[in-house]
């Protein structure tokens, strides 16, 4: 399973990078969403995969009995998911606002900060 | 000197002036008090500074550093006294004093340090203070250019020196000079010897302005005259000489050392002497004679015999005495008459008798005429040359002869012509300088005479111990004014004759040299400009290539860098080995399905040109990821992922209603280059994952959370305990980030109705 998951993550990353190389900022944004999913999977899988043993402690016990899933990456991924959502929401607002102000979603046409130099 | 500033009246420069005069004077007296002790045994003291890096703050006061310390503080006193009058009413005089004192401290630290790393630190202090002092008249473009040139040339040399110091420190196992000196043979036979030597010489040659790095020094004359006298003649430019002398017991006494130093030094000395005759600005004449002195010193240190080292140490003192006096003298003339042009100045002796006396004493010493100490110095150089063998003897004697004869001419240009003959027409009427400015040159001139008459005084307390520090133990040095009829004396007489002849025709010579210079294609100063222009053009080209303002290009560069750095590291380090044990066996059909779902979703997003299909694809991927979480025992994460995924889809769909369709062109055009980069990043990540999963897992942190979750935090859901208890601040930060994003998004969208042209959104 680890092998297949690694390959899947690779494909996910490849598609997101391809999207992020587009000059349409909307597609860039889609790439960002895919990439944050891929990164979450990377963090999660790096803590090793365990089937059917959530990191919970039974009633009355002081510590889990027997091996359970690694809790630490789960906590990290939880944080990452929420932050990723915040990032996406903000970026979406930014794209929307940019389109309203500049009338384009093509990053090559957004040149207020870096105007095209006069051709020599 | 053009006084184009508003004067601020200060008596002797005000408090800043007083401090700057008293500080070196007190130190000078202190070092004089130590002189008899140091002449016997060097003083070595120190304490640890950065022990982990082997950096000690240690002081080595032997004959060499004593000589330099006395020059720095003694001439420093003369120069600060002089400056208090010369620049005392300048609005930025306190700033000038700060720079000058910073330099003084740096230079003292440099010569007194026993640790190579602290020598480097002080070396850079002198570089930076020299930069600030050359650029003191910062409103002039010439000053700024000269300052920057000096900084870049000596700074580059300084960095090379640092590399050399580190290599030497590794070879010797210590950065203490006293410790390294003991291992001279080991280092000379080490395979890294040549590299160390060249790096040290790069530092020394740039600092001490040897050809081909000489061009910054004449330009540095843009600095106020006291600075030229102090830094760019008497002290700072001799830091390179100091370094070579210090390192002589370690790096010296090899054929490479001998030939590199004697050839570069000799060429510098003669080239500079010829160029000195060429100049009409007397300050420039002095700048080139300084180059000549530096070249001669380098050559003598390279020659390396006891005679040569003694001659170098003697000449070091002799030159500092007469050259500082001459610079200060020309400052007085400039101050008084408003010009430094050798063709204009003449007959000043009547109006400025004291200046003329100081100039005469210093110039006689420079020309090497008895009974001034310059004569003793020149005799010693000839003796050093005669003590060598074969080609080296002829080379050193020829170079010394040529340079000395030309020094005779330069002395005439600087101190004979301006003061004798008919009074010339100068911008201001000549008048005698004030006592603060006369004191320094007169005292220095008097010292040149005293040491000439009593050379043993100099030999016993200063030159002898200095030569011992550089050369090693040797019988005592005896200096004579009159050494009998010998080869050195005959050479001296020949020098005078040649110098006299050259002086008579020096104006014709100057014309000839000017014509030669005009037709000469090799111009170091212009070459420097071309080098800088080349750098700038390279930077512009590189910026245009990498930072062309296109987001696409930036992303491509970033991802390509990631592939090269991470992928390259993995390839070279062979980190893929761990991945071999993994296999695709024992995969449940449900898991196959989930993975297939993710892949299909991702490809759908990439492929489609419909916004809604893309959103749906993203949703599929998100749900697939949350299914993976639930499969592998992460229910909390799965729930969050599912909720967030729904929110994302809703949010994106809402915005989509207002945004344009995805253009078909960009969707259907397959971008091969981008696909390669994307595939590369994906492959690197896959291999990264495989090697992580194939390596051993360190469970210590996880075990800690499992053990302490209930006893310490009273929670049974370990993930939740981590989030709200062990890493509560992280979670707080996360909440802050989301809130900030919400506020920022609100701010972005708030005024949107007013400012938008409508009907654009289809």
How many helices (H) and strands (E) chain B has is answered by 34, 2
Q: Across the interface, do B718 and A24 touch by the CB < 8 Å criterion? A: no
Q: Across the interface, do B634 and A33 touch by the CB < 8 Å criterion? A: no
Q: Across the interface, do B606 and A19 touch by the CB < 8 Å criterion? A: yes
**A·B CB contacts under 8 A:** 285
Q: With contacts defined as CB-CB under 8 Å, which chain A residues touch B692?
A: 45-46
Tell me the β-bridge partners of B45: B59
Nearest to B30 by CA among B72, B83, B90: B72
Q: Is residue A57 part of a domain?
A: no
Q: With contacts defined as CB-CB under 8 Å, which chain B residues touch A13?
A: 678, 681-682, 685
Task: Tell me the residue range of the domain where A25 lies.
Answer: 2-49+69-108
Q: With contacts defined as CB-CB under 8 Å, which chain A residues touch B748?
A: 93-94, 96-97
What span, in angstroms and rounded, lies between the C-alpha atoms of B216 and B218? 6
In this predicted structure, the answer to whether residue B325 has a pLDDT above a threshold of 60 is yes
What span, in angstroms and rounded, lies between the C-alpha atoms of A31 and A20? 5
CB atoms within 10 A of CB B284: 18
Query: How open is the CA angle A11-A14-A17, to the nearest 5 degrees?
Result: 150
Q: With contacts defined as CB-CB under 8 Å, which chain B residues touch A9?
A: 685-686, 689
pLDDT confidence band for B425 (50 / 70 / 90) = confident
Q: Across the interface, do B652 and A22 touch by the CB < 8 Å criterion? A: no
**Which of the residues A39, A73, A85, A116 would you substitute to probe the B interface, choosing the one with the greatest number of B C-beta atoms within 10 Å?**
A85
Cis peptide before B212 (omega within 30 of 0): yes
Of B483 and B624, more confident: B624
In this predicted structure, the answer to whether residue B667 has a pLDDT above a threshold of 50 is no
- The reported pLDDT for the residue numbered B576 is 61
What span, in angstroms and rounded, lies between the C-alpha atoms of B274 and B514? 11
Q: Across the interface, do A44 and B591 touch by the CB < 8 Å criterion? A: no
Tokens of A97: 């606002």
**Which of the residues B570, B602, B655 would you substitute to probe the A interface, choosing the one with the greatest number of A C-beta atoms within 10 Å?**
B602
Q: Across the interface, do B742 and A14 touch by the CB < 8 Å criterion? A: no
Element (H, E) at A93: helix A71-102
Q: Across the interface, do B693 and A83 touch by the CB < 8 Å criterion? A: no
In this predicted structure, the answer to whether residue B285 has a pLDDT above a threshold of 50 is yes
Domain count, chain A: 1
Q: Are B220 and B288 in contact (CB under 8 A)?
A: no
Of the listed ranges A29-43, B233-247, B514-528, B575-589, the one predicted with least confidence: B575-589
What span, in angstroms and rounded, lies between the C-alpha atoms of B508 and B469? 45
Q: Is residue A11 part of a domain?
A: yes
Q: Are B277 and B510 in contact (CB under 8 A)?
A: yes
Q: With contacts defined as CB-CB under 8 Å, which chain B residues touch A18?
A: 606, 671, 674-675, 678
Percent of chain B with pLDDT over 70: 95
Q: Are B547 and B554 in contact (CB under 8 A)?
A: yes
What span, in angstroms and rounded, lies between the C-alpha atoms of B681 and B700? 31
Q: Is residue A63 part of a domain?
A: no
Region class of B370: left (phi > 0), else alpha (psi between -120 and 50), else beta = beta
Q: CB-CB: which of A6, A9, A21 is closest to B678?
A: A21
In this predicted structure, the answer to whether residue B668 has a pLDDT above a threshold of 70 is no
Q: With contacts defined as CB-CB under 8 Å, which chain B residues touch A45?
A: 689, 692-693
pLDDT confidence band for B198 (50 / 70 / 90) = very high
In this predicted structure, the answer to whether residue B209 has a pLDDT above a threshold of 70 is yes
Using CA atoms, how far residue B98 sits from B80, B92, B520, in Å, is 11, 10, 42
| Chain B CA closest to residue A5 | B595
| Chain B CA closest to residue A20 | B555
Q: Are A54 and B596 in contact (CB under 8 A)?
A: no
pLDDT confidence band for B525 (50 / 70 / 90) = confident
pLDDT confidence band for B335 (50 / 70 / 90) = confident
C-alpha dihedral (B173, B175, B177, B183), degrees to nearest 10 = 10
- The reported pLDDT for the residue numbered B48 is 80
Q: Is residue A77 part of a domain?
A: yes
Region class of A24: left (phi > 0), else alpha (psi between -120 and 50), else beta = beta
Q: CB-CB: which of B618, B731, B749 is closest to A34?
A: B618
What span, in angstroms and rounded, lies between the C-alpha atoms of B356 and B346? 11
- Looking at B338-389, list the stretches that DSSP marks H as alpha helix, in order from N- to C-terminal side: 353-367, 373-386
Tokens of B331: 């400052």
Q: B524: Cβ–Cβ under 8 A, 6 or more apart, which residues?
A: B212, B214, B215
Q: Is residue A56 part of a domain?
A: no
- The reported pLDDT for the residue numbered B697 is 85
Tell me the β-bridge partners of B60: B44
pLDDT confidence band for A118 (50 / 70 / 90) = very low
3-class SS string, B424-473: CCCCCCCCCCCHHHHHHHHHHHHHHHHHHHCHHHHHHHHHHHHHHHHHCC
Q: Are B705 and B726 in contact (CB under 8 A)?
A: yes
Q: CB-CB: which of A42, A54, A88 is closest to B633?
A: A54
Percent of chain B with pLDDT over 90: 49
Q: Is residue A8 part of a domain?
A: yes
Long-range contacts of B676-680 (CB under 8 A, 24+ apart): B677/A17, B677/A21, B677/B556, B677/B559, B677/B560, B677/B563, B678/A13, B678/A14, B678/A15, B678/A17, B678/A18, B678/A21, B678/B559, B679/A14, B680/B559, B680/B560, B680/B563, B680/B567
Where b means 16+ CB within 10 Å and e means fewer, B508-541 reads ebbeebeeeeeeeeeeeeeebeeeeeeeeeeeee
pLDDT in tens, B549-601: 788 888 899 999 999 999 888 888 766 665 555 555 667 788 888 999 999 99
- CA count, 13 A, side-chain hemisphere, A60: 0
Q: With contacts defined as CB-CB under 8 Å, which chain B residues touch A102?
A: none
- The reported pLDDT for the residue numbered A39 is 94
For residue B137, the distance in angstroms to the closest alpha carbon of chain A comes to 36
Q: Across the interface, do A2 and B582 touch by the CB < 8 Å criterion? A: yes
Q: CB-CB: which of B702, B744, B761 is closest to A71?
A: B702
Element (H, E) at A26: helix A25-46
- The reported pLDDT for the residue numbered B617 is 92
For residue A35, the distance in angstroms to the closest alpha carbon of chain B comes to 10
Query: How open is the CA angle B298-B302-B305, to the nearest 5 degrees?
Result: 125
Mean pLDDT of the residues in chain A: 87
Q: Across the interface, do A108 and B550 touch by the CB < 8 Å criterion? A: yes
Q: For B335-343, what is the mean pLDDT?
A: 86
For residue A32, the distance in angstroms to the closest alpha carbon of chain B comes to 11
In this predicted structure, the answer to whether residue A9 has a pLDDT above a threshold of 70 is yes
- The reported pLDDT for the residue numbered B758 is 47
**Which of the residues A24, A26, A35, A108 would you substitute to probe the B interface, choosing the one with the greatest number of B C-beta atoms within 10 Å?**
A26
Match 């004359």 to its residue by tokens.
B221
pLDDT in tens, A30-87: 999 999 999 999 999 998 888 888 888 888 888 888 888 899 999 999 999 999 999 9
| Chain B CA closest to residue A78 | B637
Nearest to B433 by CA among B509, B359, B531: B359
Q: Are B312 and B208 in contact (CB under 8 A)?
A: no
Q: With contacts defined as CB-CB under 8 Å, which chain A residues touch B657?
A: none
Region class of B173: left (phi > 0), else alpha (psi between -120 and 50), else beta = left
| Chain A CA closest to residue B589 | A1
Residue B55: helix, strand or coil by DSSP?
Answer: strand
Q: CB-CB: which of A4, A53, A74 is closest to B584?
A: A4
Q: Across the interface, do B634 and A44 touch by the CB < 8 Å criterion? A: yes
**Which of the residues B563, B605, B688 would you substitute to probe the A interface, choosing the one with the greatest number of A C-beta atoms within 10 Å?**
B605
Q: Across the interface, do A75 and B722 touch by the CB < 8 Å criterion? A: yes
Tokens of B498: 């040649």
Q: CB-CB: which of B674, B748, B757 is closest to A97?
A: B748
In this predicted structure, the answer to whether residue B666 has a pLDDT above a threshold of 90 is no
| Chain A CA closest to residue B753 | A100
pLDDT confidence band for B250 (50 / 70 / 90) = very high
For residue A120, the distance in angstroms to the closest alpha carbon of chain B comes to 13
Tell me the β-bridge partners of B46: B58
DSSP B305: S
Q: For B742-760, what is the mean pLDDT?
A: 69
Domain ranges for chain B: 255-504, 547-697, 700-762
pLDDT confidence band for B102 (50 / 70 / 90) = very high
What span, in angstroms and rounded, lies between the C-alpha atoms of B179 and B170? 13
Q: CB-CB: which of A27, A34, A93 is closest to B662?
A: A27
**CB burial class (10 A; 0-12, 13-18, 19+) of residue A120?**
exposed
Q: CB-CB: which of B677, B678, B741 is closest to A87?
A: B741
Q: Is residue A113 part of a domain?
A: no
Q: Is the dihedral of CA B67, B484, B398, B472 positive or negative?
A: negative
In this predicted structure, the answer to whether residue B751 has a pLDDT above a threshold of 80 is no
pLDDT in tens, B36-89: 888 888 888 888 877 777 677 889 999 999 999 999 999 999 999 999 999 988
What span, in angstroms and rounded, lies between the C-alpha atoms of B700 and B365? 79
| Chain A CA closest to residue B744 | A90
What span, in angstroms and rounded, lies between the C-alpha atoms of B336 and B322? 21
Q: With contacts defined as CB-CB under 8 Å, which chain B residues touch A24?
A: 662-663, 666
Of the listed ranges B172-176, B255-259, B656-660, B699-703, the one predicted with least confidence: B656-660
What span, in angstroms and rounded, lies between the C-alpha atoms of A107 and B378? 74
- The reported pLDDT for the residue numbered B582 is 57
Q: CB-CB: which of B628, B682, B719 is closest to A55?
A: B719
Q: CB-CB: which of B679, B711, B722 is closest to A62?
A: B711
Element (H, E) at B56: strand B55-61
- The reported pLDDT for the residue numbered B761 is 40
Q: Across the interface, do A92 and B652 touch by the CB < 8 Å criterion? A: yes
- The reported pLDDT for the residue numbered B2 is 46
- Looking at B608-699, list the stretches that DSSP marks H as alpha helix, in order from N- to C-terminal side: 611-631, 635-656, 664-668, 672-694
In this predicted structure, the answer to whether residue B354 has a pLDDT above a threshold of 80 is yes
In this predicted structure, the answer to whether residue B1 has a pLDDT above a threshold of 50 is no
Q: Across the interface, do B719 and A75 touch by the CB < 8 Å criterion? A: yes
Q: Are B113 and B107 in contact (CB under 8 A)?
A: no
ipTM score for this prediction:
0.92
Q: Across the interface, do A74 and B663 touch by the CB < 8 Å criterion? A: no
Q: With contacts defined as CB-CB under 8 Å, which chain A residues touch B761?
A: 99
- The reported pLDDT for the residue numbered A87 is 92
Mean pLDDT of the residues in chain B: 88
Of B637 and B611, more confident: B637
What CATH number did the domain enclosing A41 receive?
1.10.287
- Looking at B632-663, list the stretches that DSSP marks H as alpha helix, in order from N- to C-terminal side: 635-656
């Amino acid at each position: 399973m680890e092998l297949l998951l690694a390959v899947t993550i690779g494909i996910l990353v490849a598609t997101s990078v391809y999207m992020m190389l587009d000059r349409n900022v909307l597609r860039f944004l889609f790439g960002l969403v895919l990439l944050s999913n891929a990164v979450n999977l990377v963090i999660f899988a790096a803590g090793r995969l365990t089937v059917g043993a959530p990191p919970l402690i039974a009633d009355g016990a002081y510590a889990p009995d027997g091996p359970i899933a690694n809790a630490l990456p789960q906590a990290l991924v939880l944080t990452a998911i929420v932050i990723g959502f915040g990032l996406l929401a903000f970026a979406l607002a930014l794209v929307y606002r940019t389109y309203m102000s500049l009338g384009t979603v093509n990053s090559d046409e957004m040149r207020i900060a870096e105007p095209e130099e006069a051709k020599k | 000197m053009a006084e184009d500033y508003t004067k601020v009246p200060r008596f002797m420069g005000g408090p800043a002036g007083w401090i700057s005069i008293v500080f070196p004077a007190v130190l000078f007296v202190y070092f004089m008090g130590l002189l008899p002790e140091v002449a016997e045994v060097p003083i070595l003291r120190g304490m640890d500074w950065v022990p982990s890096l082997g950096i000690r703050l240690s002081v080595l006061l032997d004959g060499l550093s004593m000589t330099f310390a006395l020059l720095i503080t003694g001439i420093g006193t003369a120069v600060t006294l002089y400056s208090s009058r010369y620049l005392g009413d300048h609005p930025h005089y306190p700033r000038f004093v700060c720079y000058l004192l910073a330099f003084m401290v740096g230079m003292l630290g440099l010569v007194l340090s026993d640790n190579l790393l602290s020598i480097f630190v002080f070396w850079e202090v002198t570089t930076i203070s020299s930069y600030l002092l050359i650029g003191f008249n910062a409103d002039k473009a010439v000053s700024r250019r000269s300052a920057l040139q000096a900084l870049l040339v000596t700074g580059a040399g300084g960095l090379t020196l640092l590399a050399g110091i580190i290599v030497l420190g590794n070879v010797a196992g210590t950065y203490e000079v006293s410790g390294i000196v003991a291992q001279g043979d080991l280092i000379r036979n080490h395979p890294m010897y040549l590299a160390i030597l060249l790096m040290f010489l790069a530092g020394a040659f740039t600092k001490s302005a040897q050809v081909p790095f000489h061009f910054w020094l004449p330009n540095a004359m843009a600095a106020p005259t006291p600075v030229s006298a102090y830094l760019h003649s008497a002290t700072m430019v001799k830091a390179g000489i100091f370094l070579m002398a210090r390192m002589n017991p370690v790096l010296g006494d090899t054929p490479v050392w001998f030939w590199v130093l004697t050839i570069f030094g000799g060429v510098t000395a003669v080239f500079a002497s010829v160029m000195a005759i060429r100049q009409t600005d007397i300050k420039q004449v002095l700048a080139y004679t300084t180059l000549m002195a530096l070249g001669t010193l380098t050559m003598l240190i390279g020659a390396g015999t006891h005679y040569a080292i003694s001659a170098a140490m003697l000449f070091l003192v002799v030159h500092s005495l007469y050259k500082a006096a001459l610079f200060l003298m020309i400052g007085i003339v400039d101050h008084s008459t408003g010009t430094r042009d050798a063709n204009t100045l003449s007959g000043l002796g009547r109006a400025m008798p004291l200046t003329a006396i100081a100039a005469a004493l210093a110039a006689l010493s420079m020309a090497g005429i008895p009974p001034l100490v310059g004569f003793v110095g020149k005799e010693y150089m000839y003796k050093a040359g005669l003590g060598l063998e074969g080609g080296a003897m002829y080379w050193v004697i020829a170079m010394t002869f040529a340079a000395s004869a030309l020094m005779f001419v330069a002395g005439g240009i600087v101190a004979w012509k301006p003061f004798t003959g008919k009074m010339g027409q100068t911008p201001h009427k000549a008048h005698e300088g004030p006592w603060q400015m006369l004191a320094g040159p007169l005292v220095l001139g008097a010292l040149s005479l005293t040491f000439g008459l009593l050379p043993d005084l100099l030999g016993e307390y200063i030159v002898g111990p200095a030569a011992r520090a550089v050369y090693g133990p040797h019988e005592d040095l005896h200096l004579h004014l009159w050494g009998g009829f010998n080869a050195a004396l005959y050479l001296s007489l020949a020098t005078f004759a040649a110098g006299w002849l050259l002086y008579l025709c020096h104006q014709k010579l100057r014309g000839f040299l000017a014509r030669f210079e005009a037709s000469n294609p090799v111009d170091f100063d212009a070459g420097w400009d071309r080098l800088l222009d080349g750098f700038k053009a390279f930077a512009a080209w590189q910026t245009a290539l990498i930072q062309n303002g296109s987001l696409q290009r930036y992303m491509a560069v970033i991802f390509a860098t990631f592939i090269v750095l991470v992928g390259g590291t993995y390839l070279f380090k062979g980190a893929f080995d761990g991945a071999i044990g993994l296999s695709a066996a024992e995969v449940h059909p449900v898991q196959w399905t989930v993975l297939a779902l993710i892949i299909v979703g991702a490809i759908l997003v990439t492929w489609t040109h419909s916004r809604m299909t893309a959103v749906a694809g993203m949703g599929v991927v998100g749900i697939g990821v949350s299914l993976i979480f639930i499969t592998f025992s992460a229910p909390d994460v799965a729930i969050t992922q599912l909720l967030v995924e729904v929110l994302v889809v809703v949010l994106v769909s809402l915005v989509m209603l207002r945004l344009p369709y995805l253009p078909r062109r960009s969707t259907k055009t397959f971008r091969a280059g981008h696909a390669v980069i994307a595939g590369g990043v994906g492959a690197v990540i896959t291999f990264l994952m495989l090697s992580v999963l194939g390596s051993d897992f360190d469970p210590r942190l996880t075990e800690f959370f499992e053990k302490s979750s209930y006893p310490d935090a009273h929670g049974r859901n370990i993930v939740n305990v981590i989030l709200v208890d062990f890493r509560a601040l992280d979670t707080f930060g996360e909440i802050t980030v989301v809130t900030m994003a919400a506020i920022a998004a609100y701010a972005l969208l708030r005024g949107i109705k007013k400012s938008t042209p409508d009907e654009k959104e289809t």
